[in-house]
Amino acid sequence: MKELFYTLVFLTFFTGLSAQKLVVSSPNGLISVALHQPGEISENWYFKVFYHKSSSEEALIPKINLGLARSDTNFSSNLKLQKSGKIRSISEAYHLIHGKKSSPGNSGSEVTFYFRNDNGKKMNIVLRVYNDGLAFRYEFPEKEGDFSINNEFTSYSIPTEATRWLEKWNPANEGLYQQMQGDSLQGEWGYPALFHDRDTIGWYLIHEANLNRTYAGTKLSNEENANTYDLVFPNPDDGRGTGKSNPDITTPWESPWRVIMIGNLATVTESTLVTDVSDPVKLKDADWIEPGVVSWNYWSSNHGTKDYQTVIKFADLAEKMGWKYTLLDWEWDAMGNGGNLEDAVSYINKIGIKPLIWYNSGGDHTWVPATPKDRMLTHENRVEEFTKLHKLGIAGVKVDFFESEKQNMINYYLDIVEDAADFDLLVYFHGSLVPRGWSRTYPNLMTYEAVRGAEWYNNVPTFTMAAPQHNTILPFTRNVVGPMDYTPVTFTNSQFPHITSYGHELALGILFESGLQHMADRPEGYYSLPDKVIDILKKLPAAWDDTKFIYGYPGKNAALARRKGENWYLAGISSELWETENTISLEFLKPGIEYQLKLVQDGAHDKVFKISEEKVTSEDRLKVKLLRRGGFIAVFEPL
């Protein structure tokens, strides 16, 4: 049997013959993906992925099984390839209001494989190979009717030797990442999942993107085979048993993209592949959307919003620090001690700060009784509530406790975001799914929790010791795929103490990206800082024009440089139990320009800073010293 063999290298097409595979390569030639015909009739078609920046001939990912089971028929081992389409060159640039880069761009190659099963039913697989990874999705091209997807057979076979960083699945996505090797642990795992294959020197991060109303969120399971990660639908018990686990579809239909960011650790960290493959913005007007820093009272006072005087104190903090927002968290409907919600909102707006407000997502899917509940639950409820909020001058809503990624809940998320946009309201989700690229499609969706953040200093004493290492993993896992509401930068203590240095804590405000960056400490925690540190926090951006990986290894250390306008912000942290020194090249700065550097690093002990200033250029190297579990920031302003 003759098979077509396609390869694309530097946008040059080459056609030849190959026994049992079709191959597509990235424009830069570093990544190639081969579609393999099954050897046995009972086997699925599969992709094999190669990363060529290595002398090894081994595949980075030996097998990605493909296929779906639809309620009327299967598209798996019974597939016959009818043809493959012409390879299409992809080159795109677009704008993001908030994120790691304001003007992302991508370059890739796309091909569609056309299959039929033994019932004559059609299924297509669309494959894209980018310079920083790959994405593929399934299509049913024919208008046939309504069906359910009973199973998705996508699975990733991982070499036993690969190191992996995985988070045990939980509906709120608030676990700790675990580093493991080989077949040491089996279970269900949340997105994104990071792997490092030392034989091929490749790193890769597995995720999904452009999840929409036509599907459910998936996760990974290696319960059957320790080194094979199957895509599986939500557990029936998620959301207290409400909603179907498997999704219902209407053809023609497209699945979400299965996304893998591939390269060295810098390529993976800087990748925007999740938004690259997501739908363009759907809002007619987005000029009203403003990223910003938020003052937040819950971390230091779990019932702070119940107290009008505490609310005013945190509004004053935002005003003194030049931050855009303050959050009225839970219990605002029970506010007392001098004023109620209307009084607080009036005061906040009067001093030029924009209030945000918390809601329980409500409904039978959550066990949490906190009020107000159910005001988000229906379109009519939301329109009534959003009308009130708009008149009051409230800028956005924080909606909490979703506890499911079933299709009904995906629809609920998107209903909230779309209705909020009609009233010029920002949205962010807590107790939620991990980002799937929606911030491109709906830029009023500013951030998500979906992380074990600083709030956990309230919840369990074990976070104290886990946090330093956890913080060094997040820039290479969770925060790669979208905004992350960790609620960072705390210098005093919450219910349980932290053991990170002041330099470490300060760095988190730059290291972690979130369109709404909630500063979690109490006012005196910020007022007691040196004036030069306060000045930096006053000007801290919450959205970035560019992001560069500087150095790091998950669980040990991390350093990123982020640009806003002409200014660069560099931040680094360590989880090591000893002092470390690093010499950093400043080649990320614009050549030929002299910059004023403000360096804030660990001082003599972990509760003081060492602050210095000097003039530097892109040709210079910066030496920084970190205490154990320490950190630093550096701000570069062109002269």
DSSP string, 170-190: -TT----EEEEETTS--SEEP
Which single residue is written with the structure tokens 């830069």?
A: 28
pLDDT at 4 over 70: no
* 287: Cβ contacts below 8 Å, ≥ 6 apart: none
Return the DSSP state at 512: S
Lowest-confidence range among 4-18, 251-265, 623-637? 4-18
Q: What is the mean pLDDT of residues 605-630?
A: 98
pLDDT at 6 over 60: no
What is the reported pLDDT for 78?
87
pLDDT at 40 over 80: no
Which single residue is written with the structure tokens 């997502």?
A: 361
**Residue 609 — pLDDT band, cuts 50, 70, 90?**
very high
Which single residue is written with the structure tokens 């320009």?
A: 593
Our CA angle for 229, 230, 232, nearest 5°, is 135
Whether residue 252 is preceded by a cis peptide bond, meaning omega within 30 degrees of 0, is: yes
Mean of the per-residue pLDDT values for the chain? 95
What is the distance between the alpha carbons of residues 23 and 240, in angstroms, rounded to a whole number? 45
What is the distance between the alpha carbons of residues 585 and 354, in angstroms, rounded to a whole number? 39
Q: What is the mean pLDDT of residues 170-193?
A: 93
**Residue 447 — pLDDT band, cuts 50, 70, 90?**
very high
- Of 202, 331, 174, 221, which Cα lies nearest the Cα of 268? 202
What is the distance between the alpha carbons of residues 401 and 512, in angstroms, rounded to a whole number? 22
Task: Dump pLDDT digits (tens) for 119-166.
Answer: 999 999 999 999 999 999 999 999 999 999 999 999 999 999 999 999
**Percent above pLDDT 90 for the chain:** 93
How many C-beta atoms lie closer than 10 Å to residue 110's C-beta? 19
In 3-state terms, what secondary structure has residue 420? Answer: helix
247 within 8 A of 148, measured Cβ to Cβ: yes
pLDDT at 480 over 70: yes
**Residue 347 — pLDDT band, cuts 50, 70, 90?**
very high
Residue 333, φ and ψ in degrees, nearest 5: -80, -5
How many C-beta atoms lie closer than 10 Å to residue 9's C-beta? 16
Interstrand relation of 445-448 and 426-429 (parallel, antiparallel or unpaired): parallel
User: Could you tell me the domains of the chain?
Assistant: 3-276 (2.70.98.10), 280-450 (3.20.20.70), 462-514+522-639 (3.20.20.70)
127 within 8 A of 154, measured Cβ to Cβ: no
Q: What is the mean pLDDT of residues 37-46?
A: 85
What is the distance between the alpha carbons of residues 90 and 505, in angstroms, rounded to a whole number? 41
Return the DSSP state at 250: E
The overall longest dimension of the chain from CA atoms, in Å, is 82
561 within 8 A of 568, measured Cβ to Cβ: yes
Strand intervals (E) in 431-493? 445-448
What is the distance between the alpha carbons of residues 431 and 479, in angstroms, rounded to a whole number? 16
What is the reported pLDDT for 14?
33
R_g (Cα) of the chain, nearest Å: 25
pLDDT at 465 over 90: yes
* Distances in whole angstroms, Cα of residue 461 to Cα of each of 177, 304, 458, 490: 17, 21, 8, 16
Interstrand relation of 396-400 and 248-250 (parallel, antiparallel or unpaired): unpaired
What is the reported pLDDT for 198?
80
**Residue 536, H or E segment:** helix 531-538
**Residue 268 — pLDDT band, cuts 50, 70, 90?**
very high
* 627: Cβ contacts below 8 Å, ≥ 6 apart: 501, 503, 579, 602, 605, 606
pLDDT at 264 over 80: yes
pLDDT at 18 over 50: no
What is the reported pLDDT for 42?
74
What is the distance between the alpha carbons of residues 201 and 438, in angstroms, rounded to a whole number? 31
Task: Dump pLDDT digits (tens) for 195-233.
Answer: 999 877 899 999 999 999 999 999 999 999 999 999 999
What is the reported pLDDT for 109?
97
457 within 8 A of 494, measured Cβ to Cβ: yes
What is the reported pLDDT for 54?
73
Q: What is the mean pLDDT of residues 1-9?
A: 32
**Percent above pLDDT 70 for the chain:** 97
Q: Enter the tokens of residue 532.
A: 């030069």
What is the reported pLDDT for 53?
86
Task: Dump pLDDT digits (tens) for 225-242.
Answer: 999 999 999 999 999 999
What is the distance between the alpha carbons of residues 534 and 201, in angstroms, rounded to a whole number? 42
**Residue 584, H or E segment:** strand 580-585
Greater model confidence, 350 or 40: 350
What is the distance between the alpha carbons of residues 544 and 291, in angstroms, rounded to a whole number? 10
What is the distance between the alpha carbons of residues 627 and 610, in angstroms, rounded to a whole number? 11
Exposed e or buried b for every residue in 393-405, given b needs 16+ CB within 10 A?
Answer: ebbbbbbbbbbbb
What is the distance between the alpha carbons of residues 143 and 102, in angstroms, rounded to a whole number? 38
What is the reported pLDDT for 361?
97
